Structure 1
Amino acid sequence: MSSDFETYEQDFGTLTADITNKIGRIPKLGGDEKKQMVVNVEKQFEEAKELMEQMDLEVREIPVQSRGMYNSRLKSYKQELEKLEKDFKRSRIAYSDEVRNDLLGDDGNSSESQRAHLLDNTERLERSSQRLEAGYQIAVETEQIGQEILENLHHDREKIQRSRDRLRETDANLGKSSRILTGMLRRIIQNRILMFVLGAIILFTIVLAIYFSVRRH
């Protein structure tokens, strides 16, 4: 199993060495020759990634007690490939002095003017980057403020909901108390009417008794 891993290692080493050599040659090329070299290197990167995948599969098949060493080697290969990709990106936009002179001409003033233009563009990019960073910071602060406002609104909503529930409970209690007081008032009125009727009956009875007593005499 480890022999397969070592075979992939050898192929990976040979391939990355060729990629490194071509990356160093790219800035010295121009036109179609450079484009062809870039395409070639891109294909080799694809092959290198496939080798990495094969090595990763091989490592997974290795017993756990022996896997640590192979994982370390695989990690170093991944880091090497990432570095090569970064170098490749830089080499694609880089030019050697000869190619730069061919593109810009041999005139020293033109070269100086081009260099000043590049510096000016660099400063503009830095200023734009600073503005973007400031804008991002403002956006983050605005998001934080918005989050705090939403949290405060959520708390206020909970308070309003609790107050509304208490008002509903109080209203229910008041309605119940009102019904009790209405019943008590009704009973009081009924008792007063009953007392008035009883008083009228008693008074009528006394008057009748006095009338018959006088009439007998």
Structure 2
Amino acid sequence: MIQVKNVTKDFTLHNQDSAVIPVMRDASLIVAKGECVALAGASGAGKSTLMRMVYGNYLVQSGELWVDGIDIAKARPREILKLRRESLGYVSQFLRVVPRVPTLSVVAEPLLALKVPEEQAKARAQELLTLLNIPERLWTLSPTTFSGGEQQRVNIARGFAHPFPVLLLDEPTASLDPINRAVVLDLILQAKARGAAIMGIFHDAEARAQVCDRTIDVAAFTPICAA
């Protein structure tokens, strides 16, 4: 479960006389188990900022931010890393991996990090790559050489390899053809059915209507002076 309680976030521009830009004030929301919540709002409203705070990439100025029983706002780095390894998955728009690592290993890595036997981890990776229509001839190649759509599908396969209790999804259907889009939406529905709490950014209105239970406009958390 995700619980955001009265969270505040500012950015300090150190190259501009340390000017402070207020980004978010008193943000509060809950994402329950088995629920998918979409973050909405205009560009710059704070959707990605909120997602990155939940993932622990951005520090929180004040408030509480609970993910699967851990307050991210106060957690130590090793606690956040453990949470990411075991409970908190994040599918971003962009694939960031070590060059020259084979695609099959990239997708299997979240399972291998949890000491899942290599044969079992790679079998799950093969299942997802097949489901997402990544040709087998590419599995031994680095995904850094793939097209944008192929990289996104590899990223999705990696994000769904382990049944994370909490999932963050940043435009999971962007750049996908209708066939693969349908596959990804089905993966999201399956994750909901097993009880995952999901927060995402979905600019695809039809996808949002199909998988999301609620939509939260983050503009409600944006300070007026930040416009």
TM > 0.5: no
| TM bucket, shorter chain | under 0.3
Structure that is richer in strand per residue: 2
Question: Which structure has the greater CA radius of gyration?
Answer: 1
TM-score w.r.t. the length of structure 2 is 0.18
Structure that is richer in helix per residue: 1
